């Protein structure tokens, strides 16, 4: 079990639910931001509900984006939740003139059908393209809680960890090197979601 996790504050949404979930799992954490930047000694967890453009602007204002990119490229384990997943990508249809972190190749796209945002429970299924790679720490499928108008579309399908369906089959999670990210909210997904968080934490020790 890791001794602590750096929870990255990005100026968007409420990270309180993630902090409470970590406390329930008996995981120590500290909040890091531009004034108290992460050092790479602890795994990074970046949660939040927010818009792609303002979140990237917030990170770039104090060059926290550069710090995150450097740490992740140097091997620091990273878990992104919701907007913490979307900013990993090159760009988003939500803010077409704003660059993402570019740590995972691809674009974030908007749902074109159904009620948007998608709000509620949906089933996720492990990606068949993984062929056993990166699946040891995660269950085959389960129901999780989503609140999203946009979804990532990775350029390399082997980076998809989970798929879900909402009028289109979309990427619900990625696993790429030391990066794991969920479009859904594990901290709001009951016992199954807590198990996903625990398995990630165990995998980065």
User: pLDDT tens digits for 174-196?
Assistant: 999 999 999 999 999 999 999 99
Residue 16 has a pLDDT of: 87
What does the chain come to in residues? 205
Residue 134 has a pLDDT of: 56
Neighbours of 23 (CB within 10 A): 11
- The residue assigned the tokens 């949906």 is 122
For the ranges 34-38, 134-138, 142-146, which has the lowest average pLDDT?
134-138
Residue 19 backbone dihedrals phi, psi, to 5 degrees: -60, -45
Query: What is the pLDDT averaged over residues 88-96?
Result: 96
Q: Do residues 52 and 23 lie in contact, with contact meaning Cβ atoms separated by under 8 Å? A: no
- Residue 17 and residue 27: Cα distance in Å, rounded? 14
* Average of per-residue pLDDT values in the chain: 91
Query: What is the pLDDT averaged over residues 104-132?
Result: 92
User: pLDDT tens digits for 60-74?
Assistant: 988 999 999 999 999
Structural domain for 20, as ranges: 5-203
Q: Which of 129-143, 156-170, 191-205 has the highest mean pLDDT?
A: 156-170
Domain count, the chain: 1
CATH number reported for the structural domain that contains residue 31 in this entry: 3.40.50.880
Q: Do residues 91 and 154 lie in contact, with contact meaning Cβ atoms separated by under 8 Å? A: no
- Residue 103 and residue 112: Cα distance in Å, rounded? 26
Query: What is the pLDDT averaged over residues 52-57?
Result: 93
- Residue 150 and residue 4: Cα distance in Å, rounded? 31
DSSP state at residue 19 = H
Query: What is the pLDDT averaged over residues 98-107?
Result: 97
What residues have CB less than 8 Å from 173, skipping those under 6 apart? 85, 124, 160, 161, 162, 180, 181, 182, 183, 184
Residues with a catalytic annotation lie at 82, 185, 187
Residue 1 has a pLDDT of: 47
pTM: 0.93
């Amino acid at each position: 079990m890791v001794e602590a996790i750096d929870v990255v504050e990005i100026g968007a949404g409420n990270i309180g639910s993630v902090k409470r979930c970590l406390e329930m799992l008996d995981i120590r954490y500290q909040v890091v931001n531009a004034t108290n930047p992460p050092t790479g000694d602890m795994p990074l967890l970046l949660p939040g509900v927010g818009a792609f453009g303002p979140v990237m602007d917030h990170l770039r204002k104090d060059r926290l984006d550069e710090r995150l990119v450097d740490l992740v490229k140097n091997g620091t384990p990273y878990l992104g939740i919701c907007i913490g997943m979307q900013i990993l990508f090159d760009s988003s249809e939500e803010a077409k003139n704003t660059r993402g972190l570019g740590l995972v190749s691809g674009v974030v796209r908007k749902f074109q059908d159904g009620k948007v945002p998608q709000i509620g429970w949906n089933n996720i299924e492990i990606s068949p393209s993984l062929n056993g790679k990166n699946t040891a720490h995660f269950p085959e499928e389960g129901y999780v809680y989503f609140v999203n108008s946009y979804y990532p579309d990775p350029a390399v399908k082997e980076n998809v960890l989970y798929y879900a369906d909402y009028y289109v089959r979309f990427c619900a999670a990625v696993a790429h090197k030391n990066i794991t990210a969920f479009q859904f909210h594990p901290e709001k997904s009951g016992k199954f979601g807590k198990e996903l968080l625990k398995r990630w934490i165990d995998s980065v020790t």
